[in-house]
Structure 1
Amino acid sequence: MKKQIKRFRVRTVAAVAAVAFAANAWAVDPFTVRDIRVEGLQRVEPGTIFASLPFRIGDQYNDEKGSAAIRALFGLGLFKDVRLEVSGDILVVIVEERPTVADVDFAGIHEFDKDNLRKALREIGLTEGRPFDQGLADRAEQELKRQYINKSLYGAEVVTTVTPVERNRVNLTFTVSEGDPARIREIRIVGNQAFSESTLRSLFDLDTPGWLSWYTKSDRYSRAKLNADLETLRSYYLARGYLEFRVDSTQVAISPNKQDISITINVSEGERYVVSGVRLEGNYLGKDDEFKSLVTIRPGDPYNADKVAETTKAFTDYFGNFGFAFAQVEARPEVDRQNNRVAFVLAADPSRRAYVRRINVSGNTRTRDEVVRREFRQLESSWYDADKIKLSRERLDRIGYFKDINVETSDVPGAPDQVDLNITVTEKPTGSLQLGAGYSSAEKLALSFSIKQENAFGTGNYLGVDVNTSKYNQTLAFTSVNPYFTPDGVSRTIDVYHRASEPYENQGGNYQLVTTGAGLRFGVPFSELDTVFFGGSLERIEIKPGTNIPAAYLAYGEAFGFTSVSLPLTVGWGRDNRDSSIAPTRGRLQRAAGELGLLGDARYLRASYQFQQFIPITRQFTFGMNGELGYGKGLSGQPYPVFKNFYSGGLGSVRGFEQGTLGPKDVTGSVIGGARKINLNAEILTPFPGAGNDRSLRMFGFIDAGNVFGENEQVSFADLRASTGVGLSWISPVGPLRVAFAHPLRKFPGDRIQKMQFQIGTSF
């Protein structure tokens, strides 16, 4: 087979050479072409040949036109040999077609998806039905090898086999021997004096093999990752006064068997510098004092490149607030090497004022343009405003439909006072399928299921269905949210739900508390972060008597009826500026809600408040705290409805206790919840040992405290249950997974303990 391909290539080269020397190889006296014949065609249409010839029947033929014809036919890429013969005044075109590709296959490939590889080859023209090109096959082989090197599979071998089949076709097979990936066996940093090697290496994403390397793949060498680590190293030194730090060289050595890699990084730290002063030069629009307030470089502090960059960016952004999109701010250091001091001159040139001509959106393959544009506070045909552009990007990031958002400014040719904003987004899955599970001696294995789509059909609307199939609690709920029910950003939420529940202790009972209802709620934005919600619902709650019914339910039903129809009104407020809703490291969440039942059979007030705060302690450690309060009170001389009680215990409240089992019990021993609720949580989160700086896999330690109390009970901190423990949070390929192992610190007789809980979800 290799000989055939070689012969094919030699004949092609010979044919091209014949074209180059056609004029000298043979000469024909000019004549008028009476007929043109084509020989050797198998699949190519004759019309393709005739359309490429620079002459027609009846035209004058000469050697120059003959050479042009051969070049044109070879240029089609369909033939490996072309000849012209003259028989009297008849021109004969003799061609030999290239073989076509019958099939492309891969063998031995595990690191890549074969369909994706076929698609890539199709894009370069190496696919079924196309003429076979050995040059393209060689390029594909080399590119495949390069991709394996990027995955640290330096020993991978690729063999391309071309097999002839009938009708002048070939099968193309890429056979790969992947081998084992090369591992980083050693990372050395040479020349460091101020910081230990272990401290510097902890900054790197690349690492030597550890027990979690199979997951993080941090022991696989990548040039891009190494460059990123070197930038992290450089930033670390520059942020601690080492103005002249540099990486002198980097050596990457691979063992002869291509299995082990050693990395040596040579650095020069230089001297540590202290800032001696900062002064402003240039045009600051007469607002020098306002710009000075933005300076974060402090005389007497060690030189910090981050502070310098932060100051220049703040200056540029502040210029942008006044429409100066092209402002230039330069921080010029004046270095005193004798005293290891550095002064900075902040030179500013606001340049020209500009306004935004057009906002261009790209990358939203699924999400509609209007969903992106309605989050923008910077408008077209208005002055460029950096604050509004920053706010627009934050709002776009907060809706959670995109994993990457890039906002760039481009000049408008011929219009020096205009710019275009180019918004490039990368879509991410916005649907989720969640599964929850818990185990207790009462319910055994309880399962819950929900399917949600936060960006249904690219409209930005939310659709969700929740189902709970546990033995004693069944739920079917449907929710629809239109975040822009009005152009001003007023949202509309529709809820339809049906719930049937029994207390966990009711093993063998057959009573139920059945709630069926529908609600309508609107959200009105009062600021960029604050939204007020109000609405109402219609509920029908039925207490179905049966065996083992709690005395509290029976007493309420006998006094006020076993069926209650009410029309509660709701009002709420929310503010969320966390950096992530899945794995937050900073920011705050606040929610408050109130429910007032004045119309219908049940008269009550129900209110709740939630507060979350996340504080980054170091690059790896985050402190998080959560607090929840609940308050309920009966109105118009009625007690607080027992079916509106708060519950505590388990996931989302006090871990270590069975779900919803804390709080008051009636005379039958059934947990009935309470009208008052306190819940306090504190966590320390850090990347899992061995996972480096990967925040998709984190462990946490926690302390929980909380309880619920009856309407007429005194709230006492002495009655709070408490627990502590550790857990694992993993944003896995099948969705977020959270596992907690808890040990009660404070428990009372009769409390039901559950030491392990978990929840898992997936995206699609």
Structure 2
Amino acid sequence: MALKKLKHSKNTDHIFKNLKLKSVLILVSGLFANSALALEPFVVKDIRVEGLQRTEAGTVFTYLPVKVGETMNDDLASQAIKSLYNTGFFKDVRIEAEGDVLVVTVQERSSIAQIDFSGNKSFPTDKMKEGLKQIGIAEGQIFDKSQLDRAEQEVKRQYLSQGKYGATVKAVVSPLERNRVAVRFDIEEGAVSKIRSINIVGNQAFSMDDLRAEFLLTTPNWMSWWNKDDQYSKQKLNADLEALRSFYLNRGYLEFNIDSTQVSITPDKKDIYITVNVTEGEKYTISEVKLAGDTIVPDSEIQQLITVKKGDTFSREKITESSKAISDRLSNDGYAFSNVNPVPEVNKEQHTAAFTFFVDPGKRVYVRRINIAGNTRTRDEVLRREVRQLESAWYASDKINRSKERLIRTDFFSDVNIETPAVPGTTDQVDLNISVTEKSTGSIQFGAGLSSSEGVVLGITVNQNNFLGTGNRVSAQINTGKVNTTYSLSYTDPYFTPDGISRGFDIYRRDVDTSSLNVASYNTSSYGGGVRFGVPLNERDGINFGLAADFTTVDLNTNSPIQYQKYCGNATGCSSNSIVVSGGWSHDTRDSIMFTNNGVLQKLSAEVSLPVLDLNYYKIDYKQAWFKNVYKDFTFMLNGEIGYADSYGNKNFPFFKNYFMGGVNSVRGYDNGSLGPRDIDPITGLDFAVGGTKRLLGNAELFFPVPGLKDSKQFRLSAFLDGGNVWGSDSSYSLSDLRYSTGLGISWLSPFGPLKLVYAKPLNSKSTDNTQSIQFQLGSQF
């Protein structure tokens, strides 16, 4: 009763200062200032903790500032109370002295026994729980009402990000036995709010349709169910406003300004209306372009990098590109921290702007050290031999960029990141830090592929493109199909010499059965082996040459054409062995091998059999593929190929070396290998392709992302136009004989191998042609 009176007294603090008690009760209930009673010091003989249910007693002892045998006093009691409260485990703490025993009585906070969700359809429960765990709400954690309020708002924010502005989220807490609680989130998702109108006010130079075409956000259309582009997002709107600003600034409107933006939603939270108010201003032209500062390199070279000229319409994009081009050029010579600042002089009366590019190269910088991290399997030397920037050499951004490209093209790493931090305490040194994320470079495949021409291709393939971390490639293949059966073993050392000369060995056994194709019927069984070398001429060009021995047995049957029988000299078959010398040149500037966006690939290859065995022939092939990123993720490709083959020394050209065309990898829409010269089976009367010694192929293709998967690096759609054909030795190239097709295709880097699926329509097929609308290929064909 005395304690109650003290708590209610107005002079509590004064009375507490004069109160001496043998046994003191210190009670803390949220604000412990009102319960700060004086404590007469005593030596602690024992410590007893009461009220624990889940927390270990050792946790309390850890936070107590006094141990058995030490003296307990007023200050230590206050420290103990504060320490135990700060753990967050307790909502009430009391300290009593019973004789020489210190009694700590606590009341634990409730723990969260379970978390449930009801009404959630857009987000799976496990993902919701994972998100809540990051803000401190999880099963087994201490319950905190303030954190629960945050969690409630966070869940609602997730629905708002999906455009569901009518969503409601309410957290319900239910007490359970043993001081536990159950938390349930009751969710009403509601419908997705749709953008019903995007209105731009103040535009005069451009139409509303032209401006809205720059926006990612749009009103509902036939593809909105997939793209979700009719759902409002503040981030997307900000991006659209910046795109609108860039649209005007790149077309001369130097004074363009977005005055205000209003986003309104109807009371039922279903429809959203966006209004953007703009001031266009006048259109400006460039009156003069000048250089100032220390350009280091000749002014004439810098002038060529500036894409804006006197009389041009002002374009912020071209100004920025020019500044970057100058900065990049200087960084190639070691000036890594150069600053190029285009300063305008605006004449508002004449609506012109003169630009002066002030160039400050800064100090010349060199690379102190190259550090490599992340390669747990691949040896350091494998990475370093691809790096074109040298230690203790001047910094060169073009060499650093090329180094990253070469590391990516090894296909040993899923990610390559290069940073150039300054060396502490210096102004002219940087380190080159290369961090890589390794990926699996070995594979064992069973059931290698499926194609519309060969059916199921069964077998086993063992590949290791980074053998023992050395960068060497080893491949063993056993593949069976209706047409091709292959057994091969190959080994390639891409750095046989330190200068990058590669060397490889191949041995193989290959059987071909053409009976399932629309071509002349014959079987071949070949085996052989060879050695090959590759010599780099520079970063983009290289030559290759090799020597191989091939031993082929040809089996004919009653359906084989007469010319095949004439070649063998009988109707059953023959042996055709050869020693073949091959060589070639390649020029490759592609930015990626799998999904190329920019670059050119040129290849010239030739092979000739030496006149020492049965065959005397030669083949020459040329290929050029051009890739150009034309708009965002849209890439246009032009491909052209030509081939010519013939025999020498008064011998016939081996028919099994003929060119064939048609199928998913050449002229789509026509059966595999069905184009070109044909013959008639004397028994069945059916005609079939016999191949030829001349080939011509052209492809024009536009690649673009799958709607809704714009960031995917595994899928790509395309629209194509193909043209090509094959001619025999008694005919010449003729454009009038070309077969054309058009259609759509999809490419997918699936876990089972590359997938190609096309729908093609032949444009000028003849009655003798074999056409096929849907063609596909799954898995690598060896």
Report the TM-score when normalising by structure 1. Answer: 0.84
Residues 548 and 714 of structure 1, relative CA distance in 2, 3 Å threshold: closer
Match of 2:590 in 1: 578
**Deviation of the 1:428 alpha carbon:** 8.9
- 1:682 is paired with a residue of what secondary structure? strand
Partner of 1:717: 734
- Match for residue 438 of structure 1? 452
Residue type matched to 2:659 in 1?
F
CA distance in structure 1 between the partners assigned to 2:254 and 2:710 by the alignment: 27
- Show the counterpart of 1:283: 294
Q: Is the 8 A contact 2:117 2:125 kept in 1?
A: yes
1:79 to 87, 90, 94: 90
Cα-to-partner distance string for 1:145-180 (whole Å, 9 max, x where unaligned): 223322223333334455555655555554544333
Query: Contact between 1:23 and 1:67, CA under 8 Å: does it hold in 2?
Result: no
The corresponding residue for 1:604 is 617
Question: Equivalent residue of 2:308, what SS?
Answer: coil
| CA–CA separation in structure 1 for the residues paired with 2:690 and 2:89 | 82
Q: Which residue of 1 aligns with 2:758?
A: 739
Q: 2:667 aligns with which of 651, 654, 657?
A: 654
Could you tell me how far apart the structure 1 residues matched to 2:482 and 2:543 are? Answer: 37
* Residue in structure 2 matching 1:228, options 195, 220, 239: 239
Q: Given the alignment of the two structures, is residue 65 of structure 1 paired with residue 76 of structure 2, yes or no?
A: yes
Deviations 1:379-432 (A, max 9, x none): 333221222223334444555677876655433332122223455778899999
Deviations 1:117-168 (A, max 9, x none): 4444455554454444444444333323223322223333334455555655
- Structure 2 distance, partners of 1:78, 1:448, is 63
Specify which structure has the bigger relative contact order, considering alpha-carbon pairs within 8 angstroms and separated by 6 or more residues.
1
- Where does residue 379 of structure 1 map in the other structure? 390
User: 1:201, CA displacement in angstroms?
Assistant: 1.7
Q: How many Å separate the matches in 2 of 1:581 and 1:158?
A: 48
Alpha carbons 1:664, 1:708 under 8 Å: kept: yes
Q: Residue 12 of structure 1 corresponds to which residue in structure 2?
A: none
- Kindly provide the amino acid, as one letter, of the partner of residue 38 in structure 1: V
The separation in 1 between residues aligned to 2:386 and 2:499, in whole angstroms, is 11
Partners of 1:171 and 1:571 in 2: CA distance: 75
Q: Distance in 1 between matches of 2:766 and 2:650?
A: 33
Which one of 520, 537, 542 corresponds to residue 526 of structure 1?
537
SS in 1 for 2:452: strand
Shift of 1:634: 3.2
Q: Which runs of 5+ in 1 are unaligned?
A: 1-14
What is the rounded CA distance, in whole Å, between the counterparts of 1:682 and 1:235 in structure 2?
32
1:156–1:179 contact (8 Å) kept in structure 2: yes
Looking at structure 2, the residues matched to 284 and 102 of structure 1 have their Cα atoms a distance apart, in angstroms, of: 69
What residue number does 1:417 align with?
428
Answer whether contact 1:727 1:739 (CA < 8 A) is retained: yes
Q: 1:383 to 1:685 in 2, by over 3 A?
A: closer
Tell me whether 1:249 sits opposite 2:260 in the alignment: yes
Q: Which residue of 2 aligns with 1:594?
A: 606
Cα offset, 1:293, TM superposition? 2.9
How do 1:320-359 and structure 2 match up within 5 A? 320-359=331-370
Residue identity in the other structure for 2:621: S
SS in 2 for 1:716: coil
- CA change 1:170–1:272 in 2 (3 A) is same
Structure 2 gap segments, 5+ residues each: 1-25, 682-686
Alignment correspondent of 2:214:
203
Please name the residue that 2:14 is paired with. none
Kindly state the Cα deviation for residue 436 of structure 1 after the two structures are TM-superposed: 5.2
Residues 503 and 671 in structure 1, CA contact (< 8 A), matched pair in contact too: no
Write out per-residue CA displacement over residues 215-262 of structure 1, whole angstroms, 9 at most, x where no aligned residue. Answer: 222222222222222222222222221112222222222232333222
- Cα distance change, pair 534–508 in 1 and its aligned pair in 2 (3 A): closer
Task: Give the superposition deviation at 1:274.
Answer: 0.9
Q: Which residue does the alignment assign to 1:751?
A: 769
Q: CA deviation at 1:658?
A: 1.1
Match in the other structure for 2:678: 665
Q: How does 1:606-645 map to 2 (within 5 A)?
A: 606-615=619-628, 623-635=636-648, 637-645=650-658
Report the alpha carbon displacement of residue 693 of structure 1 after superposing the two structures with TM: 12
Q: Give matches, 1:299-318, under 5 Å.
A: 299-318=310-329
Q: For the residues of structure 2 that align with 1:531 and 1:731, how far apart are their CA atoms?
A: 30
Taking the aligned partners of 2:372 and 2:38, their CA distance within structure 1 comes to 61
Aligned-partner SS, 1:411: coil
Cα distance in 1 between the residues matched to 2:166 and 2:439: 34
Structure 1 CA distance for aligned equivalents of residues 188 and 509 of structure 2? 57
Shift of 1:529: 1.3
Secondary structure of 1:68's aligned partner: helix
Displacement, 1:55? 1.0
Give the conservation status (yes or no) of the 8 Å contact 2:292–2:356. yes
Q: Which residue of 2 aligns with 1:3?
A: none
Q: Which has the larger radius of gyration?
A: 2
Structure 1 residue 203, shift from structure 2 partner: 2.1
Q: Which of 37, 44, 60 is equivalent to 2:55?
A: 44
Relative to 1, partners in 2 of residues 1:595 and 1:94: Cα closer, same or farther, differing over 3 Å?
Answer: farther
Q: State the distance in 1 between where 2:473 and 2:27 align.
A: 63
Q: Does the 8 Å CA contact 2:519/2:674 hold for their aligned counterparts?
A: no
Aligned partner of 2:106: which letter?
V
Larger mean CA deviation between 500-509 and 609-618 belongs to 500-509
Amino acid paired to 2:604: A
- Partner SS state of residue 343, structure 2: strand
SS in structure 2 at match of 1:707: strand
Matched residues in 2 for 1:761 and 1:682: separation? 24
Aligned residues: CA RMSD: 4.2
Q: What is the rounded CA distance, in whole Å, between the counterparts of 2:434 and 2:314 in structure 1?
A: 35
Distance in 2, matches of 1:16 and 1:535, equals 92
In 2: Cα distance, 1:211 partner to 1:423 partner? 46
SS of corresponding position for 2:305:
coil
1:140-219 matched pairs, under 5 angstroms: 140-162=151-173, 168-219=179-230
Q: Residues 508 and 422 from structure 1, CA distance in 2 versus in 1: closer, same or farther, beyond 3 angstroms?
A: closer
Structure 1 position 682 matched with structure 2 position 722:
no
Q: Secondary structure at the match of 2:337?
A: coil
d(CA) in 2 for partners of 1:144, 1:476 = 58
- Residues 509 and 547 from structure 1, CA distance in 2 versus in 1: closer, same or farther, beyond 3 angstroms? farther
Which is further off, 383-392 or 363-372?
A: 363-372
Instruction: Report Cα offsets for 1:569-615 as digits up to 9, x if no partner.
Output: 43333222234545545432112222333365544323322111234
Task: Quickly say closer, same or farther: Cα 1:123–1:673, change in 2 above 3 A.
Answer: same
Secondary structure in 2 aligned to 1:574?
strand
User: Structure 1 pair 340/80, CA: closer, same or farther in 2 (3 Å)?
Assistant: same
Deviation of 1:334 after TM superposition, in Å, equals 0.4
CA shift in 2, pair 1:71/1:620, >3 Å: closer
- Contact preservation (8 Å) 1:656, 1:744: no
1:551-562 to structure 2, matched below 5 A, reads 551-558=562-569, 562=574
Q: What's the CA shift for 1:524?
A: 3.0
Which segment is superposed worse, 284-293 or 212-221? Answer: 284-293
Identity of aligned residues (%): 44
Residues 49 and 104 in structure 2, CA contact (< 8 A), matched pair in contact too: yes
Aligned equivalent of 2:23: none
CA contact (8 A) 2:586 2:603 kept: yes
SS at match of 1:653: coil
Letter in 2 for 1:679: L
Does residue 1:264 correspond to 2:275, yes or no?
Answer: yes
Q: Residues 678, 697 of structure 1: CA spacing in aligned structure 2 closer, same or farther, 3 A cutoff?
A: closer
